[in-house]
């Protein structure tokens, strides 16, 4: 079963600091309080360090779940042939809701789950940690190319670069997986992305307390072109002291998908 317990995740946690040499983290909430402007690092770049609500859609449909879902009206036309976008649910919980079996939510689905999101930034990296499944994305921001020779991944291979005050993150090398949680609204629409998925995120401060999060989906096996949806993420400096809760998915669950076996 999925369990949560209180756990203070400090921005200066040893794991993140050691792995990514984050020698100092500015306090964006303090900066906002001081000057009413967007927080910036010492080199003048926008600073996204802090705790936020998950991306919430600007308009569009709502899910019979706690996650954000995509607005079908924004979709590009479907491509004829190729991998099916809608995969019928089978009644097998391992297929219909693999997260019940401790499988990753993947991207973008995991990013849209209704849990807190923490970001830690330095000159070279933006680390995004989502409370749901403790999803962690380490995004280099120095303009390097994608890595080669990797197996397809649930969260892909992200690289970032700056375009003015906007951080642009391109992610490729996904394995085929669920796109979002729309099947909770319509069980006939288990929406999937293919292994050709490419995502582009545009992340920028909309105002001193709101981050604009724009996500472009480019899946040439399914859609005739790329399509984009717009979200916002509200800064929650009041969540900083508590930090993220620890999210643990247990191995060897005797009741996967709610189906108990044995004693």
Q: Read off the pLDDT of residues 123-165 as tens digits, 9 standing for 90 and up.
A: 999 999 999 999 999 999 998 999 999 999 999 999 999 999 9
* Superfamily for domain range 2-257: Calycin beta-barrel core domain (2.40.128.20)
How far apart are alpha carbons 197 and 193 in whole angstroms? 6
**How far apart are alpha carbons 127 and 119 in whole angstroms?**
6
- Quote the CA–CA distance of 12 and 134 in Å, as a whole number: 17
Whole-angstrom distance, CA of residue 85 vs CA of residue 27: 42
Tell me the mean pLDDT in the region 45-65: 94
Question: What's phi and psi for 193, nearest 5 deg?
Answer: -110, 160
- Mean pLDDT, residues 106-122 taken together: 96
Q: Round to whole Å and give the CA distance between 31 and 18.
A: 25
Instruction: Report the pLDDT averaged over residues 91-112.
Output: 91
Nearest CA among 184, 215, 223 for reference residue 84: 223
Rounded Cα gap, residues 156 and 172, in angstroms:
5
Q: Token pair 């292994």 is at which residue?
A: 195
The whole-number pLDDT of residue 42 equals 93
What sign results for the dihedral spanned by CA atoms 136, 187, 214, 202?
positive
Q: What residues does each domain of the chain span?
A: 2-257
The neighbour count for residue 42, using CB atoms within 10 Å, is 9
pLDDT reported for residue 100: 84
Q: Average pLDDT of the chain?
A: 85
Cα–Cα nearest to 237, from 40, 50, 26, 55: 50
First to last CA, the chain: 15
For the ranges 43-57, 78-92, 206-220, 245-259, the lowest mean pLDDT is seen at 245-259
Residue 101's pLDDT band, with cuts at 50, 70 and 90, is: confident
Cβ-contact 127, 139 below 8 angstroms:
yes
CA dist., res. 221 & res. 219, Å (int): 6
pLDDT on residue 83: 81
The β-bridge partners of 225 are none
144 burial level (CB within 10 Å; 0-12, 13-18, 19+): exposed
């Amino acid at each position: 079963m999925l369990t949560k317990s209180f756990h203070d995740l400090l921005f200066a946690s040893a794991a993140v600091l050691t792995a990514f040499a984050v020698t100092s983290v500015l306090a964006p909430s303090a900066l906002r309080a001081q000057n009413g402007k967007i927080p910036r690092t010492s080199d003048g770049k926008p600073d996204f360090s802090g705790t936020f609500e998950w991306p919430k859609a600007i308009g569009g449909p709502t899910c019979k779940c706690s996650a954000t879902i995509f607005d079908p009206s924004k979709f590009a036309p479907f491509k004829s042939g190729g991998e099916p976008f809608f995969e019928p649910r089978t009644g097998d919980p391992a297929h219909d809701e693999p997260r019940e079996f401790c499988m990753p939510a993947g991207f973008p689905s995991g990013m849209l789950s209704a849990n807190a999101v923490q970001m830690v930034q330095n000159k070279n990296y933006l680390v995004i940690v989502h409370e749901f499944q403790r999803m962690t994305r380490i995004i280099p921001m120095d303009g390097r190319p994608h890595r080669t020779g990797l197996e397809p991944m649930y969260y892909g291979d992200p690289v970032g670069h700056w375009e003015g005050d906007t951080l642009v993150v391109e992610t490729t090398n996904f394995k085929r997986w669920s796109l979002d949680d729309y099947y909770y609204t319509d069980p006939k629409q288990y929406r999937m992305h293919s292994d050709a998925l490419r995502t582009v995120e545009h992340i920028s401060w909309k105002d001193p307390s709101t981050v604009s999060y724009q996500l472009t989906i480019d899946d040439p096996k399914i859609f005739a072109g790329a399509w984009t949806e717009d979200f916002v993420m509200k800064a929650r400096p009041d969540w900083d002291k508590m930090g993220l809760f620890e999210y643990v998915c247990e191995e060897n669950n005797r009741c996967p998908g709610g189906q108990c076996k044995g004693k």
